[in-house]
C-alpha cells in the first residue's frame, strides 16, 4: 500500500532544472567521497611499478573513468610523489601527514569538467524518460526504469565520448586549441566522424547493461524497503541502501566487460599519443580473447573486490544525495504552490 503511495508522487512537480541541480550536487559530493580511494590506489600502483613517460592509467572520481597520461620523468605530477606505503590505510595516513589532506583529491578538478555534465545529462534524462515510459507502458511500467536507464546511458556516453578523446589528446601533447582543432580536422578528413567515438563501443558494452540493471533493481529495492518499513516516501537510509545493493549487483554481473573496457581504454589512450603501434586490435572480442589466453577465464574477473569497494559507495552516495535534492525541491515547490494559492484566495 505504502509503495503505491510512494510511486503516486508526480514526477513533474520537479522541473528539469531542479533535477539538474540535484544531480550536479550529488555528483560533486560523490566525487569528494570516492576520489581519495582511487588516488591512494594509483599511488600504490605507481610505487610498485613506476609509470614511464607516455604510460596511461585509469583515474576514477566515482562518476566516470578517465584516461590519464604520464608526463616525463622530471615531472612533479601527483602520482609520482615519493612515498613508502605498506598498504591502503598506511598510504592514507602518510599522504595526509606528509602532503596535506588536499592531496587525497589530486587530479580531480580537470576530470570534473567532463564527469559532472555527463552525470547531470544521465540522471536528468533518466528521470524524464522514466516518467514518460511509465505513462506509455501501462501494465509493463515496472520495466520503465530498465529501459530508461539504458537509453539515458547511451545518450550521455555518446555526448561525452568525443570530449574525453579530445581531453586525452590535449593532456598528452600540451596542444593549444588551434593545434588541437587542426588535429581533429585531419582525423575527420582521414578517418571520418567515427574516429571521434573510438572506444564508444566497449563503454556501452559495460555501462548500458550496468545502468539497466542498476535502475531496475534500485526502483524495485526502494519500493520494497518503503513497503517493509511502512514509509510513504523513501528516507535517506532507504535510498542509500537500495543504491549500494543495486550498484553492487550490477558491478558484479558486468565485471568482465569492465575488465575489457579498462584494458581497451588504456590501449586507446596510448594509441592516441602514438606510444604503441596502430596494429593493436580495437575489437572487444579479441581483447577478451587475449585476456583469457594470458590469464585464463579468471582474468575476466580480475579486480572484483576493488571494483565492488569503489562502485557500491559511489552508487549509494550519488543516488541518496540526488534523491535528497529532489525531495528538497519537491517540498520547496509544494510550499511555494501553497503560498501562491493562499495569496490568490486572499486577493479574491
pLDDT at 273: 60
Query: Does residue 219 contact residue 212 with C-beta atoms inside 8 Å?
Result: no
Rounded to whole angstroms, the Cα distance separating 179 from 185 reads 10
Tell me which DSSP letter residue 69 carries: E
pLDDT at 9: 42
Burial of 338 (0-12, 13-18, 19+ CB in 10 A): exposed
Query: What distances in angstroms separate CA 312 from CA 148, 214, 244, one per listed residue?
Result: 21, 11, 5
pLDDT tens for each residue of the chain, 348 residues long: 334 434 444 444 789 999 999 999 999 999 999 999 899 988 888 887 777 776 778 888 899 888 887 765 545 677 777 778 888 889 999 999 999 999 999 888 888 888 999 999 999 999 999 999 999 998 899 999 999 999 999 999 888 887 777 766 665 555 555 666 776 676 677 766 777 777 787 788 889 999 999 999 999 999 999 999 999 999 999 999 999 999 999 999 999 888 888 877 777 666 666 544 444 455 677 888 888 888 888 888 888 888 888 899 999 999 999 999 999 999 999 888 888 777 777 776
Among the listed residues 258, 245, 173, 174, the one whose alpha carbon sits nearest the alpha carbon of residue 213: 245
Q: Cell triple for residue 99?
A: 602532503
pTM: 0.84
Q: Cell triple for residue 307?
A: 571494483
pLDDT at 68: 82
| DSSP letters spanning 253-316 | HTHHHHHHHHHHHHHHHHHHTT-S-TTS---HHHHHHHHHHHH-GGGGGTTHHHHHHHHHHHHH
Rounded to whole angstroms, the Cα distance separating 30 from 103 reads 17
Q: Cell triple for residue 218?
A: 534500485
Per DSSP, helices labelled H in the chain are 2-7, 16-48, 88-99, 108-137, 144-173, 177-191, 200-228, 236-253, 255-272, 284-295, 304-347
- Count Cβ neighbours within 10 Å for each residue of 98-125 and write b for 16 or more, e otherwise: eeeeeebebbbeebbebbbbbbbbbbbb
Query: Does residue 71 contact residue 107 with C-beta atoms inside 8 Å?
Result: no
Among the listed residues 258, 153, 149, the one whose alpha carbon sits nearest the alpha carbon of residue 202: 258
What tens digit of pLDDT does each residue of 160-204 get? 887 777 766 665 555 555 666 776 676 677 766 777 777 787 788
Rounded to whole angstroms, the Cα distance separating 195 from 299 reads 29
- What domains are defined for the chain? 16-346 (1.50.40.10)
Sign (positive or negative) of CA dihedral 271, 272, 275, 279: positive
pLDDT at 304: 85
Amino acid at each position: 500500500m505504502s509503495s503505491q503511495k510512494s510511486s503516486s508522487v508526480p514526477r513533474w512537480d520537479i522541473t528539469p532544472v531542479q533535477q539538474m541541480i540535484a544531480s550536479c550536487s550529488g555528483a560533486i559530493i560523490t566525487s569528494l567521497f570516492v576520489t581519495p580511494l582511487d588516488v591512494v590506489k594509483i599511488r600504490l600502483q605507481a610505487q610498485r611499478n613506476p609509470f614511464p613517460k607516455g604510460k596511461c592509467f585509469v583515474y576514477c572520481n566515482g562518476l566516470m573513468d578517465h584516461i590519464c597520461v604520464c608526463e616525463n620523468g622530471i615531472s612533479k605530477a601527483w602520482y609520482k610523489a615519493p612515498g613508502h606505503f605498506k598498504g591502503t590505510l598506511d598510504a592514507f595516513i602518510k599522504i595526509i601527514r606528509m602532503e596535506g589532506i588536499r592531496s587525497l583529491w589530486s587530479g580531480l578538478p580537470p576530470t570534473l569538467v567532463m564527469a559532472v555534465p555527463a552525470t547531470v545529462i544521465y540522471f536528468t534524462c533518466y528521470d524524464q524518460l522514466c516518467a514518460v515510459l511509465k505513462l506509455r507502458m501501462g501494465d509493463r511500467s515496472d520495466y520503465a526504469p530498465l529501459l530508461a536507464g539504458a537509453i539515458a546511458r547511451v545518450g550521455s556516453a555518446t555526448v561525452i565520448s568525443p570530449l574525453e578523446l579530445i581531453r586525452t589528446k590535449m593532456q598528452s601533447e600540451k596542444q593549444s586549441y588551434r593545434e588541437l582543432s587542426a588535429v581533429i580536422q585531419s582525423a575527420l578528413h582521414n578517418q571520418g566522424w567515427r574516429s571521434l567515438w573510438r572506444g564508444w563501443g566497449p563503454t556501452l558494452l559495460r555501462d548500458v547493461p550496468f545502468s539497466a540493471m542498476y535502475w531496475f533493481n534500485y526502483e524495485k529495492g526502494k519500493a520494497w524497503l518503503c513497503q517493509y518499513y511502512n514509509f510513504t516516501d523513501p528516507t535517506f537510509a532507504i535510498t542509500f541502501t537500495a543504491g549500494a545493493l543495486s550498484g553492487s549487483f550490477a558491478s558484479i554481473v558486468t565485471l568482465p566487460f569492465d575488465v575489457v573496457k579498462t584494458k581497451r581504454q588504456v590501449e586507446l589512450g596510448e594509441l592516441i599519443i602514438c606510444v604503441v603501434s596502430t596494429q593493436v586490435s580495437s575489437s572487444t572480442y579479441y581483447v577478451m580473447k587475449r585476456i583469457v589466453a594470458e590469464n585464463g577465464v579468471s582474468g575476466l574477473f580480475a579486480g572484483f573486490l576493488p571494483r565492488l569497494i569503489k562502485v557500491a559507495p559511489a552508487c549509494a552516495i550519488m543516488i541518496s544525495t540526488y534523491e535528497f535534492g529532489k525531495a528538497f525541491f519537491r517540498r520547496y515547490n509544494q510550499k511555494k504552490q501553497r503560498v501562491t494559492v493562499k495569496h490568490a484566495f486572499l486577493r479574491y
